């Protein structure tokens, strides 16, 4: 927080001081910035100059761009006697247009179009675990869908290769490769993707309460949507429901180990190693395979149930 304040102050100083600088506005008029001179009253240090320093977003329409530039030109040209207006110098720190410009330069930096929502320009960068948490892969698809549900009736899309893609359900099917993925053998990688695919399922639809919990940064109570893991008794990640991703992981691993007609011995071993590895992470795998929980619901629902 303190670093942020310092940064902001430095930016203000940079925008107020000296000559040059200039905005990113290409088609602007003369760029020299006057220092001092026109200010009167209680400004401290250098003045705000006489030019408004704005960056105009490229998505502005021609009409909008013309309007904002014209109005700022007019503002810059106004000769104002602020001393005749109550409260003026208290707000602007002086009595002239240069003080208003200074005020603006500290507070308005970017101009967006009426058609640009600020959040469409926000970028959520990948979370960097301070402990270097390792993983094979992850599937955030149910959360991507939750994000679109939360923003209804606004339309949320996900940009893939510069194209906006519709998000209509958790079957959007986005998988992040983890750091261990590239170091693994092809069989383990294939099993990993089969596991991740199960996380795209929301068999009974979503509960509004779960969407809200996620939005508030709380862990899930009902793990059905997204077939989410929980903690194992001994720690680590486990299915808390039958037919979850680790069960599918185990079954597919066993298929490679026991039922692949063109797998090499090494590949079969890799399948068996993985089966052993995930067996305990699946929820009561023996009971599941014995039919204790019925057949899996491999379907998907886009329904959101309001349980709030």
Q: Name beta bridge partners: 231.
A: 237
CB atoms within 10 A of CB 280: 14
Site residues for Zn ion, 80-119, by CB under 5 A, read none
Q: Closest distance between Zn ion and the C-beta of residue 182, in Å?
A: 18
Site residues for Zn ion, 199-258, by CB under 5 A, read 245
Q: Closest distance between Zn ion and the C-beta of residue 245, in Å?
A: 4
- Cβ distance to Zn ion smaller for residue 34 or 237: 237
Residue of closest CB approach to Zn ion: 245
- Cβ distance to Zn ion smaller for residue 24 or 297: 297
- Cβ distance to Zn ion smaller for residue 211 or 241: 241
Beta strands 110-111 and 55-56: pairing type?
A: parallel
**277 closest CA partner among 246, 239, 303:** 246
- Cβ distance to Zn ion smaller for residue 111 or 281: 281
Site residues for Zn ion, 34-63, by CB under 5 A, read none
Q: Name beta bridge partners: 89.
A: none
- Cβ distance to Zn ion smaller for residue 60 or 174: 174
Q: Assign 3-state DSSP to the chain and report helix, strand, coil percentages, each to 5.
A: 40, 10, 50
- Cβ distance to Zn ion smaller for residue 94 or 245: 245
- Cβ distance to Zn ion smaller for residue 82 or 245: 245
Q: Name beta bridge partners: 111.
A: 56
Q: Closest distance between Zn ion and the C-beta of residue 192, in Å?
A: 9
> Three-state SS across 128-142?
CCCCCCCCCEECCHH
Q: Determine the size of the site formed for Zn ion (CB under 5 A).
A: 1
Q: Closest distance between Zn ion and the C-beta of residue 140, in Å?
A: 11
In the numeric block, which tokens belong to residue 181? 């993925």
Q: Closest distance between Zn ion and the C-beta of residue 288, in Å?
A: 16
CB atoms within 10 A of CB 119: 9
**57 closest CA partner among 124, 119, 116:** 116
Burial of 77 (0-12, 13-18, 19+ CB in 10 A): exposed
Side-chain-facing half-sphere of 123: CA atoms under 13 Å: 3
Q: Closest distance between Zn ion and the C-beta of residue 283, in Å?
A: 12
Between CA 210 and CA 307 the distance in angstroms is 9
- Cβ distance to Zn ion smaller for residue 223 or 268: 223
Burial of 70 (0-12, 13-18, 19+ CB in 10 A): exposed
Positions in the binding site for Zn ion (CB under 5 A): 245
């Amino acid at each position: 927080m303190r670093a942020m304040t310092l940064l902001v102050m430095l930016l203000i100083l940079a925008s107020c001081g000296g000559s040059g600088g200039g905005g990113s506005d290409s088609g602007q008029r003369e760029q020299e910035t006057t220092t001092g001179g026109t200010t009167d009253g209680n400004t401290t240090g250098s003045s705000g100059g006489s030019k408004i320093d704005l960056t105009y977003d490229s998505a502005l329409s021609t009409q909008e761009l013309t309007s904002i530039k014209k109005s700022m030109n007019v503002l810059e040209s106004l000769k104002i006697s602020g001393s005749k207006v109550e409260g003026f110098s208290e707000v602007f720190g002086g009595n002239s247009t240069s003080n208003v410009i200074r005020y603006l330069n500290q507070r308005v930096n970017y101009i967006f179009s009426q058609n640009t929502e600020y959040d469409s320009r926000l970028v959520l960068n990948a979370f960097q675990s301070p402990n270097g948490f390792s993983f094979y892969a992850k599937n955030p698809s149910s959360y991507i869908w939750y994000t679109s549900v939360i923003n209804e009736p606004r339309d949320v899309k996900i940009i893939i290769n510069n194209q906006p893609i519709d998000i209509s359900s958790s079957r959007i099917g986005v998988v992040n490769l983890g750091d261990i993925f590239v170091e693994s053998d092809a069989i383990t990688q294939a099993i990993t993707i089969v596991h991740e695919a199960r996380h795209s399922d929301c068999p009974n639809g979503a509960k509004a309460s779960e969407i809200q919990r996620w939005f508030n940064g709380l862990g899930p109570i009902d793990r059905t949507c997204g077939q989410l893991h929980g903690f194992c008794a001994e720690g680590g990640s486990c299915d808390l429901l039958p037919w979850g991703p680790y069960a599918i992981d185990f079954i597919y691993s066993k298929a490679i180990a026991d039922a692949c007609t063109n797998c090499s011995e090494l590949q079969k071993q890799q399948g068996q190693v993985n089966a052993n590895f995930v067996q305990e992470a699946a929820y009561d795998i023996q009971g599941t395979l014995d039919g204790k929980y019925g057949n899996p619901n491999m379907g998907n629902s886009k329904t959101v149930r309001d349980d709030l």
